[in-house]
Structure 1
Amino acid sequence: MLLQSPWTPRLADIDASAAERLVLALADDIIEGRLQGGDRLPAHRDLAWQLEVGLGTVTKAYAALERRGLVRSVKGRGMFVAIRQAHEERVIDLSANVPPAMLSARLLARTLAGVARKIDADHLNLYSPPSGHLEHRRLLARWLETLGVTVEPSNLALTSNARQAISLAFDLACGPHGVILTERVTYPGAIALARRKGYRMQGIALDAQGMLPEALAEALDGVASGENRAVYLTPTLHNPTTATMGLARRQAIVEVCRKAGAWIIEDGVYALGPPTTPALVELAPERVLHVNGLSKSIGPGLRIGMLALPAEMTAEAQDILRDVPMAPSPLSCAVVEEWLASGVIASIPQDLRHEARRRSSLAVSLLGTDELVAHPDAYHLWLPMPREAADRLAAAAASVGIRVTPPESVMVDPGDPASGIRLCLGGPSFEDVTEGLTLLARMMKGSRPHDAAG
């Protein structure tokens, strides 16, 4: 005689498919200890009948749970809660800021077949020019036009990824020594690059629209005479806060930098599709070095970086790139060419925006809106809080198998008492994101009285 299941069937109360809701409900009860190792789960048909869902829905949900190691199937007996617990066996990674997976194996196979018929063998047999092959620069200048950025191919330098483009921009704007002014919290990769290269980095206050022009002007006035100055900022979907500048703010930042004679390094990697406000490089092409890339807007494996330069900087950029070549893979460029011709590259950002809004909406529903800073087009979000509270939450999350961005990694000033937690929603599956956010919401709810008292 089969044992009765102790589980009361339910579906999680989220906006998702029935299978995803069932997975979350069961995973939640297992992780929280409401189901113990060895407990029997309802039979497939019984559960489908009780929840009024299809048999395939139950089969799909059980399979997902089994892949995670939460349940195990015993032939002839049924499905059981696994002995091991989820947080001891797996990690939900909410620290890596990558877009959701949009590229299928079928699309890739079709793309590579097309590339094989058209790729120029000389691109693989010969070294590329320092700034990249001219046809590849023309190709990527066309792609930048879809984002509202107009650049002559001759003023475009190609690199293997956007971080290399930032590195090149730092060298061009600051020379061997200089100061980089940026948002008080900013992209961890830029902070790491500046420290490694020996550049002094100064944090500037920001609000819901990003960097404050008045604070920037004051900081620029305080820089020592003769010291090279560059302003690095992300005006669209800022990392980590998702702040996006309106037109008036962008114009004010440009005017401050013009008056001070400072270069602007604009990070545009998070923009998806045509902008509602112009990029900084469109407002001040003579002063802005515009960084872009494909890993955030198409897929992490497509490693191509771009740096649109003022004409006066192109010769120096070529000299640097001749000493330290950074050109992207010709195969990656051929893939982009194929996707531009077929229209695929136009549809992927649309799909990413749809999935970003789905995940952002989920985060708002689970975490609430009091502390959360989110944008519907961003696949990361920001929880501002005191540094000590951020460290405690990051450690508590790690203890249950949830990895978040370390608070110190986004802080320009390590001694700043204000920080926060960046949560990246793009990398894990929707089910894992739901599970991770649900656990984080419970931790935050349980910590508030303690924080208020302490």
Structure 2
Amino acid sequence: MLLRSSWTPRLASNGTNATERVVLALADDIVEGRLAGGDRLPAHRDLAKTLQIGLGTVTKAYAILERRGLTRSVKGRGTFVAIHQAHGDRQIDLSSNAPPAALGARVLARTLTGIARKIDADHFNLYAPPGGHLEHRRVLARWLETIGLVVDPSQLVLTSSARQALSLAFDLVCGRQGVLLTERITYPGALALARRKGCRIQGVEMDAEGMVPQALAQALDGVAPAGGTAVYLTPTLHNPTTATMSAKRRRAIVAVCRRAGAWIIEDGVYAAASDGLPQLATLAPDITLHVNGLSKSLGPGLQVGVLALPPELCGPAQDLLQDVPMAPSAFSCAVVDEWLATGVVASVQRDLRHEARRRSRLAVSLLGASELVWHPDAYNVWLPMRRDAAEGVVSAATHAGVKLTPPQTLMANPKDKASGLRICLGGPSLDELTGALALLATLLKRSA
């Protein structure tokens, strides 16, 4: 004998037809936690009779809910809530822009075996020079060549993360009371770093390719810094909007900065997806500081950052590093060396690209493509909206057990009214992601 459903049938007050009213009523009760994962829904005929609607209407509504990932049907048993709510201890995190998991235990075991045969014990017995061992800088220079950036190892500084490399870049060319121009909406980690360092942040207008050269030129004309002037931007898969600059746009940005005498800080952590587009550091090596790291392109556990510098900044960087050395672990550098030699780097990047595309398509299918901004190789999607609306969705999602990036952390100008939702796709399992996106789709529909 089948158990009865605990749901009290109702129709939502809004909705254009009976099908949509059933969908909204059930989706709301799932999102709000009134129905828990595993709860049974009423049988089709029972619900149709109770609500005095057609059987076909109920069947269509249940099919929509299943496509959104909110329910699942089991042959011979009925329809059940598919989402396990996280109102208690655990949230599904869509706020951290991490890559999907791509490394298996077998690859790691082979890596450890390979490292054991050739690792240099001196790298463990001695302190590293401030910018990293020369051998490790050569390894990272080889890795940068895979994204089309050729740099002399003597112009590289190695750090324990890309964020450390970015912090050092800010210290070198912007500093306290300096002016940092960046995209109007940008990477929250960069904004937080710059604010802590006392930089004066100025947002620059964007379009579908990222920072607009004419807007940057106008902004630089009005700059009167007490310190340095730097332009921070992400030309490939911009975080959070996923915009990627064409080669023409990159050259235009370089030309504007060169005329204004401004330094460029290029965030290249997603540059592995640039498909032959030139890095800004290739176009203007004398004025560009290129920031990169391995956590986005290979895996979060590989904590190696790298900063490629113009020759005139190598000395000042070494001076700063005397006080706060940032060199990565010898073990992490040995892993990179082994993976470059054995082809693992290329293999992992192919796997990450495949998984990013699968997750992007999932997001588009559940959230809709009309307003969503996305790129098949990005680990996030972007949904532009007013700041107050975005804050409301973030709050509702938190209550439903889904963590999103607060919109104000992405804004160069905290008073700007335009913002949006950064929805990160890489961290959760595919099942968790499906459930979280389904919940988010319901919240967005209700908000609209």
TM-score bracket relative to the smaller structure: 0.7 to 0.9
Deviation, structure 1 residue 81 = 8.2
In the alignment, which residue of structure 1 is the partner of 2:86? 87
1:24-39 correspondence runs (5 A): 31=30
Q: Matches of 2:138 and 2:332 in 1, distance apart? A: 15
1:294-344: CA deviation from partner (whole Å, max 9, x where unpaired): 000100010000001111111111111111100001000011111111100
State the TM-score, normalized to the length of structure 2: 0.83
Amino acid of the structure 1 residue aligned with 2:182:
T
In structure 1, the gaps of 5 or more residues are 8-26, 42-69, 72-77, 449-454
Amino acid of the structure 1 residue aligned with 2:106:
R
In the alignment, which residue of structure 1 is the partner of 2:192? 192
In the alignment, which residue of structure 2 is the partner of 1:55? none
In the alignment, which residue of structure 2 is the partner of 1:16? none
Q: Matches of 2:27 and 2:279 in 1, distance apart? A: 43
Deviation, structure 1 residue 110 = 1.8
In the alignment, which residue of structure 2 is the partner of 1:136? 136
In the alignment, which residue of structure 1 is the partner of 2:315? 315
Q: Matches of 2:299 and 2:113 in 1, distance apart? A: 19
Alpha-carbon contact 2:280-2:288 (below 8 Å) kept: yes
Q: Matches of 1:418 and 1:442 in 2, distance apart? A: 22
Alpha-carbon contact 2:36-2:85 (below 8 Å) kept: no
Deviation, structure 1 residue 39 = 5.5
Q: Matches of 1:130 and 1:85 in 2, distance apart? A: 48
Alpha-carbon contact 1:232-1:264 (below 8 Å) kept: yes
Q: Matches of 1:209 and 1:282 in 2, distance apart? A: 19
Q: What number of residue pairs does the alignment pair up?
A: 394
Deviation, structure 1 residue 87 = 3.3
Amino acid of the structure 2 residue aligned with 1:158:
L
**1:222 matches 2:209:** no
Deviation, structure 1 residue 3 = 3.9
1:232-266: CA deviation from partner (whole Å, max 9, x where unpaired): 00000000100100011111100000000000000
Deviation, structure 1 residue 281 = 0.7
Q: Matches of 1:373 and 1:40 in 2, distance apart? A: 36
Q: Matches of 1:236 and 1:291 in 2, distance apart? A: 12
Q: Matches of 2:27 and 2:339 in 1, distance apart? A: 41
In the alignment, which residue of structure 2 is the partner of 1:294? 294
Deviation, structure 1 residue 107 = 1.4
Q: Matches of 1:304 and 1:319 in 2, distance apart? A: 21
Alpha-carbon contact 1:264-1:289 (below 8 Å) kept: yes
Q: Matches of 2:39 and 2:98 in 1, distance apart? A: 37
Q: Matches of 1:85 and 1:279 in 2, distance apart? A: 44
**1:247 matches 2:282:** no
Q: Matches of 2:225 and 2:3 in 1, distance apart? A: 79
* SS of residue matched to 1:295: coil
Report the CA distance shift for 1:29/1:181 in structure 2 as closer, same or farther (over 3 A): closer
In the alignment, which residue of structure 1 is the partner of 2:399? 399
Amino acid of the structure 2 residue aligned with 1:101:
A
In the alignment, which residue of structure 1 is the partner of 2:116? 116
In the alignment, which residue of structure 2 is the partner of 1:179? 179
Report the CA distance shift for 1:39/1:342 in structure 2 as closer, same or farther (over 3 A): same
Amino acid of the structure 2 residue aligned with 1:265:
I
1:95-121: CA deviation from partner (whole Å, max 9, x where unpaired): 011000001122112211221221111
Report the CA distance shift for 1:39/1:446 in structure 2 as closer, same or farther (over 3 A): closer
Amino acid of the structure 2 residue aligned with 1:220:
L
Amino acid of the structure 1 residue aligned with 2:85:
A
Q: Matches of 1:86 and 1:409 in 2, distance apart? A: 26
Report the CA distance shift for 1:273/1:410 in structure 2 as closer, same or farther (over 3 A): closer
Q: Matches of 2:330 and 2:316 in 1, distance apart? A: 23
In the alignment, which residue of structure 2 is the partner of 1:373? 373
In the alignment, which residue of structure 1 is the partner of 2:59? none
In the alignment, which residue of structure 2 is the partner of 1:164? 164
* SS of residue matched to 2:87: helix
In the alignment, which residue of structure 1 is the partner of 2:328? 328
The worse-fitting range, judged by mean Cα deviation, of 434-443 and 109-118 is: 109-118
Q: CA RMSD in A?
A: 2.7
Q: Matches of 1:121 and 1:190 in 2, distance apart? A: 36
Alpha-carbon contact 2:27-2:442 (below 8 Å) kept: no
1:63-98: CA deviation from partner (whole Å, max 9, x where unpaired): xxxxxxx99xxxxxx9x989x962324311100110
In the alignment, which residue of structure 1 is the partner of 2:259? 259
In structure 2, the gaps of 5 or more residues are 7-25, 42-70
In the alignment, which residue of structure 2 is the partner of 1:351? 351
In the alignment, which residue of structure 2 is the partner of 1:283? 283
Q: Matches of 1:227 and 1:37 in 2, distance apart? A: 56
Alpha-carbon contact 1:148-1:275 (below 8 Å) kept: no
* SS of residue matched to 1:396: helix
Alpha-carbon contact 1:360-1:374 (below 8 Å) kept: yes
Alpha-carbon contact 1:160-1:329 (below 8 Å) kept: yes
Deviation, structure 1 residue 443 = 1.2
**1:442 matches 2:446:** no
Alpha-carbon contact 2:236-2:274 (below 8 Å) kept: no
Report the CA distance shift for 1:306/1:38 in structure 2 as closer, same or farther (over 3 A): closer
Q: Matches of 1:283 and 1:242 in 2, distance apart? A: 22
Q: Matches of 2:225 and 2:288 in 1, distance apart? A: 21
Alpha-carbon contact 1:157-1:307 (below 8 Å) kept: yes
Q: Matches of 1:128 and 1:187 in 2, distance apart? A: 30
Alpha-carbon contact 2:148-2:276 (below 8 Å) kept: no
Report the CA distance shift for 1:418/1:121 in structure 2 as closer, same or farther (over 3 A): same
The worse-fitting range, judged by mean Cα deviation, of 93-102 and 361-370 is: 361-370
